[in-house]
Amino acid sequence: MTARRIAFLGIGLMGARQAARLLAAGHAVRVWNRTAEKTEPLVALGATAFADAGDAVEDAEVVITMLAKGATVAEVLFGGDVADRIPAGAVVVDMSSIAPAEARAHAARLAARGVHHLDAPVSGGTKGAAEGTLAIMAGGDPAVFEAVRPVLEAMGRPTLVGPAGAGQVAKLANQMIVAVTIGAVAEALVLAERAGADPAAVRDALRGGFAESRILDLHGARMIAQDFVPGGRTSLQIKDLENALATAAESGAPSPFSGLALELFRDTFAAFGDVDHAGLWLTLHEPKQ
């Protein structure tokens, strides 16, 4: 594997773990984050931290963004001089979860500067980021995808799913499945408790059957332990579902289950704050009177 010069913008719960995987793979990683202290553990691992995002991207072959929403990605890339300082021929890989239309707009703006773009959102949470097992859904030019495949493989399993914006469509589909399945698991475990069974034993009994899933495994365990320290935040689940429902409406695709899930996640956020999205269990377990 050839080491690449990589600028990583956005060192949050996911980005910190992804950047650490890139360092472990031998890449030269430059990091930037608005809260500079979050970059310190990566500096200890060999990364170079920059106070200015524009400085971080200069001379980079690959620029990875992992930010909260589309507006933030646009602000970081285009609100100042960052996009203008990315070398021509470099590849921007946006691993944030944003609307497909935003991803296509960013790709067009970068192309006008001679910079390539992939939208490559991920699924797998902080555990997958730490272990390098993320599902990476990429949209963009096949040649560009192949050029950065080794970089992506340091973080997980990349799959090209279509042209610009298609990666975000895949992520929205993923989030619809995740949201509805979290609701189903939470509902089932509350039923088990209220109907006199041991929820932990019920979860164990279901594993290996048709109800088995990563959600039942990981989030079911969180629900039983009542551990809702954020791994995947409720606020981000709400943002992704809002984007999914907007895209579904534009595409004429039905989305009744996702619509109900969005209502329940909004209730969870209002009542319990920005807990892990498995905290939907709280809304079902402790319904409003």
Residue 20 has, within 13 A of its CA and on its CB side, a CA count of: 21
User: Which one of the listed residues 38, 69, 127, 171 is annotated catalytic?
Assistant: 171
State the Cα–Cα distance between residues 90 and 6, nearest whole angstrom.
10
State the Cα–Cα distance between residues 265 and 268, nearest whole angstrom.
5
pLDDT band at 1 (very low <50, low <70, confident <90, very high): low
> 3-state DSSP call for residue 34?
coil
State the Cα–Cα distance between residues 244 and 205, nearest whole angstrom.
33
pLDDT tens track for 66-86: 998 899 999 999 999 999 999
- What pLDDT is stored for residue 288 in this prediction? 53
Q: Quick one: CATH architecture of 5-163?
A: 3-Layer(aba) Sandwich (3.40)
Q: What are phi and psi of 196, to 5 degrees?
A: 100, 10
Percent of the chain with pLDDT over 90: 93
For the chain, give every domain's residue range.
5-163, 169-285
Calculate mean pLDDT across residues 243-259.
95
For the question of residue 171 being annotated catalytic, the response is yes
Does domain 169-285 sit in CATH 3.40.50.300? Answer: no
Strands (E), the chain: 5-9, 28-32, 48-49, 62-65, 91-94, 116-119, 122-123, 134-139, 156-162
Structure tokens at 241: 């579902």
pLDDT of 134 > 70? The answer is yes
Q: Are 140 and 164 in contact (CB under 8 A)?
A: yes
- What pLDDT is stored for residue 289 in this prediction? 45
Longest dimension (CA), the chain: 64
